[in-house]
Amino acid sequence: MEDRGVIATADDALRAKRDIARAGYVEDAYIDLLSSRTERALVRRHPPLVRRGYWARTAATRAIALEFGSRCEKVSDGRFNVVNVGCGYDTFGLWTLDRFERARVVELDFADVIRARSERLREAGVERSEVSYESRACDVRDVSAIDAAIGGLKEPFDWSLPTLVIAECVLAYLPPGASDAVTKFFGERLNTAVFASYDPIEPDDAFGRQMIRNVRARGCAFAGIGDAPSVEGARARFERSGWQRAFAYDMNAVYARLSANERERIEKIDFLDEYEEWRLILAHYCISVGVNDAVGALGNFDLISD
């Protein structure tokens, strides 16, 4: 994994998520604070297809957090962990803490990313107790580095608590086989947990091959996309990594099940007539989820609820 190229994708995602917040797709109290001073002075407008795609992945991961957190309020006095693997400049952890006061968030990424996001939050006056929030430099390609980062937290990590692990567009950038190691690492240690991953899929058709070329042109690669090249492959990754249950859906299915009121609202923000291309893009991304539920605390937890 080419470090500089992958770090640049974190900047790309930050710009896109900042754009959808400014355009009214989502509410995000922290996205501007995590932007550099240079970025905050710029106005970048992304195409409607990109905006809607980023809204879908953001809405889906937030929905997972809300569902997981609400179940934890019933079984663990509201206490649960969130581990954001390859957090980039995402605001997911801070957003979760604003809604679940007894959550504990751990964010992991390259040292340069963690240093920059920590400095920007400190400059903005955003302070969190280490009991509830810590970020650690970590090479997520290496599970021993993940283990050391979590083991080195100032506030000891309670593996017995329900834990939500998030990897948003991360696993495909890992070397072949590394994503299995990461999912297995958490699966072996957590008895009550959900691991949700957002990933590109279908690299072998015409659209997928172009997607691969576009990423390579940015100085990085979807080196690990072969570990889970399809919806079925994404589900199978959790199964072979020892998770008790696993589900996966392409983003067409996910989008269709997101809040109808929210979909109606955001579809009015930008006019979109490229419906065939929209569906094609969604067919090349998926969300997969592994569930460990040793004591039945999570019930019928699924990515999509009918």
Per the annotation, does 125 bind a ligand? no
Q: Check if the beta carbon of residue 85 is closer than 8 Å to that of residue 181.
A: no
CA dihedral 128, 131, 133, 136 (to 10 degrees): 120
Q: Which residues of 215-245 are buried (b: 16+ CB within 10 A; e: fewer)?
A: beeeebbbbbbebbbbbebbbbbbeebebeb
Per the annotation, does 147 bind a ligand? no
Report which residue type is found at 22. Answer: R
Q: Check if the beta carbon of residue 135 is closer than 8 Å to that of residue 117.
A: yes
Q: How far apart are CA 306 and CA 33, in angstroms?
A: 36
Per the annotation, does 44 bind a ligand? no
Per the annotation, does 40 bind a ligand? no
Per the annotation, does 57 bind a ligand? yes
As a whole number of Å, the end-to-end CA separation of the chain is 38
Q: Check if the beta carbon of residue 69 is closer than 8 Å to that of residue 194.
A: no
Which has the closest alpha carbon to 258: 17, 6, 64, 69?
A: 64
Give the residue numbers of the binding site. 57, 86, 139-140, 168
Give the residue numbers of the binding site for S-adenosyl-L-methionine. 57, 86, 139-140, 168
